[in-house]
Amino acid sequence: MSGSNDNTTIAVVIHGATGRMGAETVRAVSGADDMTLAGATCHTPRGDILNTPAGSVPLSTDLAGMLDAARPDVMVEFTHADACMTAAPLAAARGIHMVLGASGLNAEQLQSLDTMSREHGVGVIVAPNFALGAVVLKKLAEQAAAYFDYVDVVEAHHEMKIDAPSGFSLAIARGMRDARGSDFQRNETTVQHLPETRGGDSGGVSIHSLRLPGRSAHHEVILGAAGQTLSIRHDTLGRDCYMPGVLRCVREVARRPGLTVGLENVLGL
């Protein structure tokens, strides 16, 4: 590897390292035998050192400076869409591969990531969800999409999540619509006593977002046809479930030039 550490390990910088997902990723990367945490960044000043299970690493609010100093092989990013699109060009211009977990990246932003990955010869993996069970849910929903005309998606997250709906629920809706090849049917309620009660509309899929303390990440797909419904649900009980997927992407990204969207495409599902 080309980072600042020895060539037997993958040097990693984590952007958004003090957030909930970032902190979990710090622990996972620190414990991986084939990786070295070379540095970390955060939005709010928290000093110059981040203590990890493997020792202390440099911490900064200046991503460009951190990338120059640490010279990582891979940047792992867990922030939000706007911050991700500010960070990605900095990494790409330095030849740094990227594993991006920001929620809510739209089609235009994905196209921009694809373009910069090819211009700079780096690999970029965007994963709306790193949990294996969630990826299986998405694939099952896509397989079922052709047999049902109506579908609702209900997603629930903790009360501090800043965006709605979740990026993964949007990915589920897009995946089902693409697999089906046409929009789903969606009833048009004649009288709405409370606006937007039917949820958001993505290709005929109604998406409903819950934000509550005590929740982590939960997604349920409910498909309907005459006389029957089919429900597929995944519950995240702890953020540690994402880490095998994150580490797999860190190991794979350098071998995948261009843009890869979805953990399922890394795993070959």
User: Which residues are marked as active site?
Assistant: 157, 161
Report how far residue 95's alpha carbon sits from residue 83's, in angstroms, rounded to the nearest whole number.
Answer: 19
DSSP helix/strand/coil, 252: helix
Sheet holding 205-211, edge to edge: 200-202, 205-211, 150-157, 217-225, 228-236
Question: Is 4 within 8 Å of 71 (Cβ atoms)?
Answer: yes
- Strands 55-60 and 49-52, bridge-based pairing: antiparallel
H helix intervals, the chain: 20-31, 63-70, 81-93, 107-120, 132-144, 167-180, 243-252, 263-267
Contacts of 190 (CB under 8 A, 6+ apart): none
Sheet holding 258-261, edge to edge: 49-52, 55-60, 35-41, 10-15, 74-77, 97-100, 123-126, 258-261
DSSP helix/strand/coil, 58: strand
Element (H, E) at 55: strand 55-60
